[in-house]
Amino acid sequence: MATTVSLINMKGGVGKTTLAFNLSWYCAWRANMKVLAVDLDPQANLSQYFMGAKKYRTYLEDDNNTVVEIFEQFSAPKSKKGSPTLLSPRSVIHTLHEWNDGSLIHLIPSRLELAWTLKNPTEKAQLLPQFLAKISDSYDLIVIDCAPTESILTAAAYRSSRYIFVPVKPEFLATIGLPLLARSLEEFRLMHQNQTIEMAGIILNDYRRTKTPPEQLASSRDVKRLAQEYNWPVLNNPAYHSDSYPTGSRGGTPIFLTKYAKDYVKGEFSGVAEEFLKSVNLK
Amino acid sequence: MNSKVVQIALRICLIKEEFSENEILEAIKLLEDHGSASILLDYLAGRKAASKTRRSKHKSKSTIEQRSRVIISLQDEEPEKFELLSEFDSMIRQGKILSELDDIKRLGEQLSKDFAPKNSRRDAIDKLIDLLAKRQVDEIRTIIRTVSSSDSKNKDNDYQELARFIITGRSSQAKTI
């Protein structure tokens, strides 16, 4: 059965998608795992990152299913079609890479219309965990890239996850996302006491390895102090800043396969990924 | 008679002893045709260049032969795969696609975790084609299509097309009735 992990933060632009993409690749490529990445953001950046602009556009033009169909599979059935039928998992999961050693990366893509789900959220949050439960045995790890909102999408991610990770950019406004998330997670736990969900770690992202600006140092201190108070782990390995990440996002390559990415950058990311795997008991 | 004159006379005797009369006449004609030693050197350099060209032609021929050897085994048994890979191989070797060694490495690495060519373009191409040859025709076709459309000029267009699609729900490449 797969371990399901959500990368979540109410604040946008903290690097959730970059981490989700690179961690998924690392776990498949380096740790030889079967990985399913789930794009749970209407902006669909993870889908575009994995598929590239052209393939993603073609995927949508061909009217292929996305995560939207998981949430809307029982919405407003038409009389012509009769009762709603269950969505076939294969019709939503897009194969990205499958290697000879059995490792793979699959994707449940997203699209902008996922935002419509937010307009009529009644009883939809449980549809994602129900869907993932059916396919869980086919994977070692399921990584959910969440939208920067407190919504039914957040609830769906919580309900699907065993662990959550919180990427935080060390800057004042980004650190505010952390207490917001803590409150949201606590409320969820109170309401769903039969589910085990754990804050597996805070990942300081986009951290400057040298000449670290005073604002980054101050924000990191704030985050660590708050984390200590609530007993949340902070990963020892920050995800350091590198221009190779945006380069990889255009080329659809993880940091360790990105052209001109420095070896020490690749090494630093390996540190983050290994700690990530240990934190979720997959190493 | 000074010693230098004797030295010259001895060398001439040596030449007459060593070479036939025809060879000596040809050599004299060569010197007459090309004048001074520097021009003669130019001529010799020209000969070298000519022989280098011949060698490089030979090398290029052997490259073609090598490429054919990698794919040739498919010719009879899998003609469709053979066609696809021959064309793809030729486009890479001509630098029309995957023009940098790194580009070939990136593609190979995405296809196989064991892709580790030597630091030469030729070796990387051979290993990439080997890798592709093991795949199904449809898969190869998809990979070639992706590679062909992924140069930076096309990527700019791809972004514009995606942007248009997101805004209007249609792209300029959408099929029209």
For chain A, list residues whose CB is within 8 angstroms of any CB belonging to chain B.
29, 48, 52-57, 60-61, 97, 99-101, 103, 112, 250-251, 253, 257, 259-260
Q: Which of residues 155-174 of B touch A (CB under 8 A)?
A: 155, 158-159, 161-162, 165-166, 171, 174
Q: How close, in Å, is residue A221 to chain B by CA atoms?
A: 39
Determine contact: B113 vs chain A, CB below 8 A.
yes
Q: Which of residues 121-160 of B touch A (CB under 8 A)?
A: 146, 149-150, 154-155, 158-159
Give all strands of the β-sheet with A198-207 in edge-to-edge order. Answer: A94-98, A104-108, A34-40, A141-146, A3-7, A163-168, A198-207, A239-240
The whole-number pLDDT of residue A137 equals: 97
Q: Token pair of A214, please? A: 């005073």
Q: Token pair of A5, please? A: 């992990």
Give how far Cα A87 sits from Cα of A72, A93, A127, A225, B137, Å.
Answer: 10, 11, 11, 45, 30
Q: What is the pLDDT of residues B101-133, one digit of tens each?
A: 888 988 898 889 999 898 888 889 999 999 999
The lowest-confidence range among A112-126, A233-247, B56-70 is B56-70
CATH code (residue A35): 3.40.50.300
Q: How close, in Å, is residue A54 to chain B by CA atoms?
A: 5
Q: What is the DSSP string of B2-55?
A: -HHHHHHHHHHHHHHHHS-HHHHHHHHHHHHHH-SHHHHHHHHHHHHHHHHHHH
Q: How many structural domains are present in chain A?
A: 1
Q: How close, in Å, is residue A211 to chain B by CA atoms?
A: 31
Report which DSSP code applies to A5.
Answer: E
The whole-number pLDDT of residue B48 equals: 46
Question: Residues A5, A144: contact at Cβ < 8 Å?
Answer: yes
Q: A113 is in which domain, residue-wise?
A: 3-73+88-279
Residues in chain B closer than 8 A to A99 (CB atoms): 112-113
Tell whether the model's pLDDT for residue A23 goes beyond 90.
Answer: yes
* Partner-chain contact B165 A100, CB within 8 Å: no
Nearest alpha carbon to residue A17 among A261, A267, A246, A263: A246
Nearest alpha carbon to residue A277 among A51, A13, A22: A22
Task: For residue A83, tell me if it sits in a domain.
Answer: no
Q: What is the pLDDT of residues A140-186, one digit of tens each?
A: 999 999 999 889 999 999 999 999 999 999 999 888 888 888 899 99
Q: In the predicted model, what is the mean pLDDT of chain B? A: 75
Tell whether the model's pLDDT for residue A95 goes beyond 90.
Answer: yes
Tell whether the model's pLDDT for residue A94 goes beyond 90.
Answer: yes
Task: For residue A80, tell me if it sits in a domain.
Answer: no
Q: How close, in Å, is residue B63 to chain A by CA atoms?
A: 27
Give the position of tokens 């789930």: A38
Beta strands in A217-268 (DSSP E): 239-240
Task: For residue A78, tell me if it sits in a domain.
Answer: no
Residues in chain B closer than 8 A to A101 (CB atoms): 113
Q: Which residues, 6+ apart, have CB-to-CB distance to A118 below 8 Å?
A: A149, A151, A152, A153
Task: Please give the Cα distance from A36 to A282 (Å, whole number).
Answer: 15
Q: What mean pLDDT is predicted for residues A264-279?
A: 97
Element of type H or E holding A35: strand A34-40
Q: What mean pLDDT is predicted for residues A230-239?
A: 95
* Partner-chain contact B102 A57, CB within 8 Å: no
Q: In the predicted model, what is the mean pLDDT of chain A? A: 93
Give the position of tokens 């800043």: A241
B114, B162, B175: which to substitute to probe chain A, counting the most A Cβ within 10 Å? B162
Beta strands in A154-195 (DSSP E): 163-168
Q: Token pair of A33, please? A: 């795992």
Task: For residue A79, tell me if it sits in a domain.
Answer: no
The lowest-confidence range among A3-7, A137-141, B150-154, B157-161 is B150-154
B90/A37: higher pLDDT: A37
Task: For residue A194, tell me if it sits in a domain.
Answer: yes
Q: B59: pLDDT confidence band, cut at 50, 70 and 90? A: very low
Task: For residue A82, tell me if it sits in a domain.
Answer: no
The whole-number pLDDT of residue A175 equals: 86
Report CA B64 to chain centroid distance, whole Å. 8
